[in-house]
Amino acid sequence: MSPAINKTNAARYLDSLGISYELRDYVVQPEEFSALTVAEKIGLPPEQVFKTLLCATCDREHVFAVVPGPDALDFKKLARASGTRKTEMASLKEVEPLTGYVRGGVTIFGARKDFAAYVDETLELFDVISVSAGTRGVQILLSPADYLKAANARASGARLASLTKDARA
């Protein structure tokens, strides 16, 4: 880990579980939110950079969806995985109050509220994946097994599911 990078709540959460990770920082522009840009800046293939999205169900509950950077979340698949009729993105004004993180810095680790998490099953295809460290400009790199271990140590846990839109859709 680079000594210049301050530990985030997400990093402290992983530390509390004894999970190995690397923090990798990068320069971020104010209006830059693309996971593809993040992948380029941290030197990983885009499909190994996972974005964490806060979504709302028709039952007025919130869930996290964790999907590969280049892929679009399929809300119908998320609804099926979460056992509800419909899901949609949470409003941007809800993100920080509910998670404690700003757009582009959301992670399930150390979030203000412990919402159920649904993680795209492609996570397990890689040796290393990257997720936000809880602040824009810093990513956590870790093994998928360690990500799932940490995700399942949370009270609400995490479930693997097919969450992305099919290429031909």
Any idea where the domains of the chain sit in the sequence?
Answer: 20-161
Integer CA distances (angstroms), 8 to 58, 66, 86, 107, 161, in order:
32, 19, 33, 11, 28
Integer CA distances (angstroms), 22 to 75, 76, 128, in order:
31, 34, 10
Question: CA torsion, points 76, 81, 86, 88, in degrees to nearest 10?
Answer: -80
Query: What homologous superfamily does CATH list for 20-161?
Result: YbaK/aminoacyl-tRNA synthetase-associated domain (3.90.960.10)
**Banded pLDDT at 4 (limits 50, 70, 90):** low
| Per-residue model confidence as pLDDT tens digits over 69-124 | 999 999 999 999 999 999 999 999 999 999 999 988 999 999 999 999 999 999 99
Please provide the average confidence, as pLDDT, over all residues in the chain.
92
Give the pLDDT confidence score for residue 167 in this predicted structure.
61
How far is it, in rounded angstroms, from Cα 62 to Cα 59? 9
